[in-house]
Structure 1
Amino acid sequence: MTLIAALLAAACGRTTAPTGTAPTAATGGDPAGTAKAGLDAGEHKAVILATTTSTQDSGLLDVLIPAFEQQTGYTVKPIAVGTGEALKLGEQGNADVLLVHAPASEQEFMQSGAGTNRTLVMHNDFVLVGPQSDPAHVQEQQTTSAALERIATGAAPFFSRGDDSGTHKKELALWAATGTDKPQGSWYRETGTGMGPTLRVASEKRGYTLTDRATYLAQRDTLDLRILLEGDPALLNIYHAIQVNPARFPKVNGQGARAWIDFLVAPRTQRTIGEFGRAELGQPLFVPDAGKAEATVAP
């Protein structure tokens, strides 16, 4: 059985504590000593997190999950997939909480009633990367639309994730802004994989791709790619956490999901997010946004 299948089986068959309020510290009745702040004795401990590949490929989850588990006593079971797949898992009640980055699709998810407690967590931005030689002269362009038009006109190899992820959704929206719903031609290739593998393919094939900055920076030392276009407001990349609605899916771990979201927006965690990557890469990979209005967030 694959890891995802095993996690989904656990999600469908478990019993959770009543939902509706954030967990409180245990007050007793825990002879094994397992209850911690945020986890009552007898409460279901596993939290299934459906999240984007960028949070995993950048290494952010490797920092956040152990801290959350230590503070609360919950155990996080991450499923790193594209945002589209993460939202589907939520729509089916097969995850407790989501961490995703496709605002338009997230709004549809919320309107369907499958989600609740949608919370702004952080942002970074997308960048266009390509070969050192930059045959399409992307670096000379001022906007993403102009850069993509140069790539298409020159039939320069472009690698799309093609996986309905948040990055893929953003890429298609950027192509649409040029008047092209989806490029056609042998130069446009879909990998059907996450961001890390797509970057590696683009590097090996000397092509272009759209990537979130965090994943690129985390892997740039292994890639023969450089950032060619950045800073366009159209490249903003916003992340929200969304609790899968326990009123619709009674078996989800509502308290654990709420605890995860509360953890993400807590001041200490926000400071961790804001510093992540600075020591190793010379710049932070994400900008913390808890408490901000989404309209005020800018690249």
Structure 2
Amino acid sequence: MIKKTLVTLGLSAVLAASLSAKDSLMMATTTSTDNTGLLDYLAPKFEKDTGTALKWVATGTGKALKMGGNCDVDILFVHAPASEKKFIATGFGGDRQQVMYNDFVIVGPKKDPASVNGMAPSAALNAIKEKQAKFFSRGDNSGTNKKELSLWKNAKVDAKSASSWYVQTGQGMLRTINMASEKNGYTMTDRGTWIKYMSQKGDKNMMKVVVEGDKSLFNQYSVVSINKEKCSNVKPQLAKQFTQWVTKSETQKTIADFRLLGQALFIPNADK
């Protein structure tokens, strides 16, 4: 009887581990969904509604796409539409569904040493270059970095060739904003992370938004499932489950209700 009980317990443990592994969805995502606290806010609701645990790695969108191509995750939650479409074209990704958006903003010292407040993006970036004001770039191939580089290109400025005023941090967004603040420089961030930064700094915040509102600063977030035909180890049903859950009206309202300092960090748009 004792042996039978031990065997039974052993089988139960194996089954429990198997079920636990089966009911866990692995995601690669951008730092903004993590740094803002959005995923910490959504994950327990997802598990309660579906019984599936959500686990994630937060990194730049470029690295997240590589994780998808390496078959390391089941789904991506990223914000670089052009790169996402190229990834899908490789056959590794599919079922791309938009979830929400916010916008990018350029932030700088409250004293605005380059006098760019209120300018359009191209004019502001050219002014920063002409005045040799410090600009801090993530330099990490993230969705934010990709957008920033496209804005420099639109401004006809080869920022990467600069050595004195253009600084590539290789860091996430919050650390990059902090570095810009410490060095009296500028940077570009998504608005959700900026609101998070303001909530952390409070009265000690020495930065402000100097460029915003241009249509080129639109920032779309989408989920992309990994193709099981390319990655036999992935869990397409759980990826589909999350996609359906995060785009349904109740969850979209939950995203809309996620606020800091009375401001929405992301605007749901799955139905657009």
Q: Please, what TM-score do these two structures have when normalized by structure 1?
A: 0.81
Say if 2:29 and 2:61, in contact at 8 Å, map to a contact too. yes
Give the Å deviation of 1:181: 3.7
Say if 2:159 and 2:166, in contact at 8 Å, map to a contact too. no
Please give the residue correspondences for 1:23-34 in structure 2 after superposition, counting only pairs within 5 Å: none
SS at match of 2:264: coil
The yes-or-no answer on 1:255 pairing with 2:233 is no
Say if 2:122 and 2:152, in contact at 8 Å, map to a contact too. yes
Equivalent-residue separation in structure 1 for 2:158 and 2:74 (angstroms) = 34
Give the structure 2 partner of residue 126 of structure 1: 104
Q: C-alpha offsets along residues 166-197 of structure 1, whole Å, 9 cap, x if unaligned?
A: 00000000000011243413110011011111
Equivalent-residue separation in structure 2 for 1:79 and 1:210 (angstroms) = 22
Equivalent-residue separation in structure 2 for 1:140 and 1:230 (angstroms) = 7
Q: C-alpha offsets along residues 25-62 of structure 1, whole Å, 9 cap, x if unaligned?
A: xxxxxx99x99xxxxx6871111110000001111111
SS at match of 1:121: strand
Most deviating of 104-113 and 66-75: 66-75
Counterpart of 1:135, as a letter, is P
Counterpart of 1:260, as a letter, is F
Q: C-alpha offsets along residues 198-229 of structure 1, whole Å, 9 cap, x if unaligned?
A: 11111111110000000010111413211111
Q: C-alpha offsets along residues 2-35 of structure 1, whole Å, 9 cap, x if unaligned?
A: xxxxxxxxxxxxxxxxxxxxxxxxxxxxx99x99
Q: 1:139 to 1:66 in 2, by over 3 A?
A: same
* Count of residues paired in the alignment: 254
Please give the residue correspondences for 1:77-96 in structure 2 after superposition, counting only pairs within 5 Å: 77-96=55-74
**Structure with the higher fraction of residues in strand conformation:** 2
SS at match of 1:215: helix
The yes-or-no answer on 1:281 pairing with 2:258 is no
Counterpart of 2:269, as a letter, is D
Identity of aligned residues (%): 46
Counterpart of 2:258, as a letter, is F
Pick aligned residue for 1:100 from 68, 78, 86:
78
Equivalent-residue separation in structure 1 for 2:27 and 2:106 (angstroms) = 28
Give the Å deviation of 1:77: 1.4
Q: C-alpha offsets along residues 53-111 of structure 1, whole Å, 9 cap, x if unaligned?
A: 00011111111111111111111111000000000000111110000000110110010
SS at match of 1:159: strand
Give unmatched runs, 5+ long, in structure 2. 1-11
Work out which of the two has the higher radius of gyration on C-alpha atoms and give 1 or 2: 2
Q: Please, what TM-score do these two structures have when normalized by structure 2?
A: 0.89
Give the structure 2 partner of residue 225 of structure 1: 207
